[in-house]
Amino acid sequence: MAISMCSWRVTSSIAAARKSDLRGPSGTARFWCLRAAETYVFHFRGARLIRLENVTKIYNSEVTALRDATFDVAKGEFVFLVGASGSGKSTLLRMMNRQESPEKGAVWVAGRNINEMPDSKVPHLRRNIGNIFQDYKLLLNKTVHENVAFALEVIGRPKHVIRQQVPAVLDLVGLNGKEDRFPHQLSGGEQQRVSIARAFVNRPLILLADEPTGNLDPATGEGIMRLLDRINKTGTTVVMATHDQRIVNMMRKRVIQMDRGIIVRDQARGVYE
Amino acid sequence: MLSRLAYTFRETGASLRRNITLTVAAILTSAVSLFLVGGTFLVQRGFDNLLSKWAGGVQMIVYVSPTATPDQIANIKSALESSPTVVDVGKLEYLNFEQSLAEAKRLLAADPTTFRLLNEANLPTEFKVVPKAGQLNVLVQLANGFAEVPKVQKVVLARDQVEQISKLRDFVQTVTVGLSVLLLVGALILIWTTIRTAMFARRREIEVMKLVGATNWFIRIPFMLEGLIQGLIGALMSCGFLLFFNRLWTNGVVKLKGDNGFIALVVSDSFLNLVMLLVVLFGMAAGAIASGVAASRFLDV
């Protein structure tokens, strides 16, 4: 009972976040009187969804992957993390859903310091964060439909919800009629669309994409970017790590540039350079 | 809830099939080790039965003829009490017909036919004699004298039976306990390895599950169920072995008929059932816990 109460609190704070944003800064979500929700409202007057504060990550006490990284991401923003391989882009993304924890500093998501969150609440945090990878990470023994349904199944969504949401999201990513194919029967671009569908099917607040176009030819990559842009326009915040210069220059979104673990540039409507 | 259950069973079944060789190895090892655990209990109980009439330091039993009158019984009692320096009078115990019958029931668990033939006219009652400290040798010398008292049927000394049996019991116990512990550790290591292999085979699935926000328990439970099933099948097999060997043993012991008392080495069916139940519960719990721990070990959040 206690656990389910807690999980409800986390989700409700995020639900509150959505409501307050819809109503604008004046319509605060005081209705959600739980503390988590209040914390959210406090932090989200400025619609700040992710905040990194002096985050430092050191691997094996010698390799510094991140040094003193500080930035905010507003709700609904589209952010590119750019930089050479090993500059700390992926580590930054992994900080945001607590796959990694910083040695110093704090990561705030939806108004909560996720490093201080007990392990038992991490799954509920992750239900609000979709992940996309360069290598898609699809389950090869499952069909397109099963791959997407799996994401709902393992968080205990009832069958009728799955039956309703999976076709809708497959439609959104343009995979109509390919529900019963297996990943090896799809092109790279289609596989990435499946992975986007899986990440988005639960309507997360945040989408973290780690080099999603890295394995795709330019035209296919552009298609994926158009899809991510559409998803972003529905209000989902997108943080994408890439070193695809062409795509960054084409999109003209906010660019955070990393160099050996340090943020060297943070520019609105930026280019790759 | 139903879809979750369906998911759990589907995953467990798939995983058991995928790792068939390791699964079979884990099941066989746990079957043999649990058989030895159960066997230890049975052997232990057999010896305890055999030695039970000597429990509490009893060194001499004076069997009284069933035809003895209360006066004659009192007479025997006073004969025993007449040597208070040798016999510990405080611990002198008389088993009347009912008590002797209860004792016989336990000793004759394997031979209900003989037990049914017992009645007040043929079952001797008995005095259990505990010597005073250091007086055992004197008691042994007095034993023949007690045999002369009217209506004493027989005088039996522990020294003749007990020492050898105790030594045998200690030996058998050490061997079976040692072997069963070793094999149990082996079975647990195998279950552990099976689960680790299963998790490795499904590492991508587990990674995806964690990223989309499945709880650790949700991920862990199919593996625990897998361990539980391995433990359960192993335990059921060991119950088969226990039944088979117990029957073999019982038949062998019953054939040794005679006045040697070895019939008491056979345990009752109710005790066998209890041991089998314990073995099954223990097998299931050990399998589930070992795989749960293994799963947690490889489930870094």
Do B281 and B177 lie in one domain? The reply is yes
pLDDT at A224 over 90: yes
For residue range B263-286, what is the model confidence (pLDDT) as tens digits?
A: 777 888 888 999 999 999 999 999
DSSP SS3 for A135: coil
For residues A158-187, give the mean pLDDT.
94
Nearest to A238 by CA among A223, A249, A226: A226
Residue A5: predicted pLDDT: 37
Of B158, B181, B197, the domain-final residue: B158
Do B225 and B167 lie in one domain? The reply is yes
For chain B, what is the domain count?
A: 2
Q: Indicate yes or no: pTM above 0.80.
A: no
If one compares B89 and A194, the residue with the highest pLDDT of the two is A194
In a 13 Å sphere around the CA of B225, the CA atoms on its Cβ side amount to: 18
Do B153 and B243 lie in one domain? The reply is no
Q: Per CB distance under 8 Å, which residues of B are interface residues toward A?
A: 3-4, 7, 204-205, 207-216, 218-219, 301
CATH number at residue B78: 3.30.70.3040
Residue B14: predicted pLDDT: 80
Do B207 and B126 lie in one domain? The reply is no
Burial class (CB in 10 A: 0-12, 13-18, 19+), B113: exposed
Do B45 and B175 lie in one domain? The reply is yes
Residue B257: predicted pLDDT: 63
Do B75 and B147 lie in one domain? The reply is yes
For residue range A108-141, what is the model confidence (pLDDT) as tens digits?
A: 999 999 999 998 899 999 999 999 999 999 998 8
Chain A positions in Cβ-Cβ contact with residue B209 (cut-off 8 Å): 150, 154
Instruction: Look up the domain containing B92 and give its range.
Output: 60-158
Under the banding of pLDDT at 50, 70 and 90, the label for residue B52 is confident
**Average pLDDT taken over every residue of chain A:** 84
Nearest by CB to A131, from B4, B211, B216: name it. B211
If one compares B93 and A101, the residue with the highest pLDDT of the two is A101
Do B168 and B237 lie in one domain? The reply is yes
- Both structure tokens of B202: 């499904």
- Angstrom CA distances, A91 to A94, A99, A214, A241, B111, stand at 5, 9, 17, 10, 75
Which of A142, A146, A154 best probes binding to B when mutated, by most B CB atoms within 10 angstroms?
A154
Chain B positions in Cβ-Cβ contact with residue A128 (cut-off 8 Å): 213
Instruction: Give CA–CA dist B31/B46, Å, rounded.
Output: 22
Task: Give percent of chain B above pLDDT 90.
Answer: 12
Interface contacts A/B by beta carbons within 8 Å: 55
pLDDT at A3 over 60: no
Residue B260: predicted pLDDT: 60
Q: Which of A91-105, B122-136, B212-226 has the lowest mean pLDDT?
A: B122-136
Do B24 and B37 lie in one domain? The reply is yes
Of B128, B158, B188, the domain-final residue: B158
Do B171 and B264 lie in one domain? The reply is yes
Instruction: Give CA–CA dist B5/B3, Å, rounded.
Output: 5
Residue B74: predicted pLDDT: 86
Task: Give percent of chain A above pLDDT 70.
Answer: 83
Of B142, B158, B174, the domain-final residue: B158
Do B175 and B286 lie in one domain? The reply is yes
Closest residue on chain A to B208 (Cα):
A137
Do B185 and B138 lie in one domain? The reply is no
Chain B positions in Cβ-Cβ contact with residue A114 (cut-off 8 Å): none
Nearest by CB to A119, from B204, B214, B301: name it. B301
Which of B212, B215, B218 best probes binding to A when mutated, by most A CB atoms within 10 angstroms?
B212
Under the banding of pLDDT at 50, 70 and 90, the label for residue A10 is very low
Closest residue on chain B to A162 (Cα):
B3
Nearest by CB to A156, from B4, B204, B219: name it. B4
Do B181 and B44 lie in one domain? The reply is yes
Residue B280: predicted pLDDT: 96
Chain B positions in Cβ-Cβ contact with residue A137 (cut-off 8 Å): 204, 207-208
Instruction: Give CA–CA dist A39/A121, Å, rounded.
Output: 16
Residue A125: predicted pLDDT: 93
